[in-house]
Structures are given as structure tokens and as C-alpha cells.
Copies of this chain bind each other. A is one copy, B any other.
Amino acid sequence: MVDILHRVGIKAPLDAVYQALATRDGVAGWWTNDTQGDSRVGGALRFTFHAGGAEIGGFEMTVIALQPGALVRWEVVNGPAEWIGTRIGFELKQEGEYVIVLFRHEGWKEPIEFMHHCSTKWAIFLMSLKALVETGTGQPNPNDVKIDNWN
């Protein structure tokens, strides 16, 4: 089992960062505009990605944990085969004027090339989260920063 790890610090109130992770409208502001479903614990969230007006893929997740101001966790139930069964967690804590986000996408079976891509792309999206909360404007798909020939 191998994990993708990241850390960003956001200069904003803890609750603002939490809301950007724990609500549908929040996630739509930094990951993908096309975020649908129920963001409560046990609910199913559907994240769909687009390029040039066409759908290029997506993920369905179950919300498995919500701790206000502290933690958001999802489990992948549908999407690319390599993602199914993996878990995505955002752990929050305050350090001075920063809210620290510790990110982990855990449970990958093998360190395949697609995992390398997803690792870089998660960093880009976490910087989009930081921009959203600090400035009001993120770069969710379809306006996300492209990193390679896969997106």
C-alpha cells in the first residue's frame, strides 16, 4: 500500500477551510465545478471532470468522516479502477495565522504512473483550495492548471 501525501497552509479562519472541504459548494470552488450529491456522513458525492465541453471522467465517493474544524474523509466507490477502495483525508489544525491541511490519499495498491500524475495534480488542486479560501477564487476543473498530456 502506498499513499499520496501533501501539506498546505492557508491564511484564513479554520471554519472557512473546513467549509471548503465539507460542503458541496465548497469543493465545487476548488476541485471541480461539477460536484453533485450529498455531503453529509454516509452521503454519496459525485465529482465529474470536463475538457473542451466533454466529460472526461469522474469519481463517486462516500463521506466517511466529518469532524468540524478538524477532519473530512471520503472513500472512493466508483471511478478509475485504481482509485476504488482508496480513501482521501483532509486533516486540519491551526498553527499561528495558518490553517494547516494535511492531505492523504491512501490505499493505492501499486506506485503506478497514474499515481505519479494524481500526486502532482492533487498538489495543484490543494493550491487551488488555498487560493479559493484566501482570495475567493480557486481554479477548479474545467479551469484547472494542466500538468501533462493526461490533463
Kindly list chain B residues whose C-beta atoms are within 8 Å of the C-beta of A104: 116
**In contact, A148 and B3 (Cβ under 8 angstroms):** no
Residue of B95, B119, B130 near A149 (CB, 8 A) is B95
**In contact, A8 and B120 (Cβ under 8 angstroms):** yes
Is A18's CB within 8 Å of the partner chain B? Answer: no
Q: How far is the CA of A1 from the CA of B96 in the complex (A)?
A: 32
Given contacts A102-B113, A113-B102, contact A6 B120 (CB under 8 A): yes
Given contacts A9-B149, A111-B3, contact A102 B123 (CB under 8 A): no
Interface string of A3-29 (1 = CB under 8 A from B): 111111100000000000000000000
Shortest beta-carbon distance from A107 to chain B in Å:
13
**In contact, A102 and B119 (Cβ under 8 angstroms):** no
Is A88's CB within 8 Å of the partner chain B? Answer: no
Kindly list chain B residues whose C-beta atoms are within 8 Å of the C-beta of A100: 148-149
Q: How far is the CA of A95 from the CA of B98 in the complex (A)?
A: 40
Q: How far is the CA of A148 from the CA of B6 in the complex (A)?
A: 11
Q: How far is the CA of A149 from the CA of B7 in the complex (A)?
A: 10
Q: How far is the CA of A53 from the CA of B103 in the complex (A)?
A: 31
Given contacts A3-B2, A120-B123, A123-B124, contact A9 B98 (CB under 8 A): no
Kindly list chain B residues whose C-beta atoms are within 8 Å of the C-beta of A123: 6, 119-120, 123-124
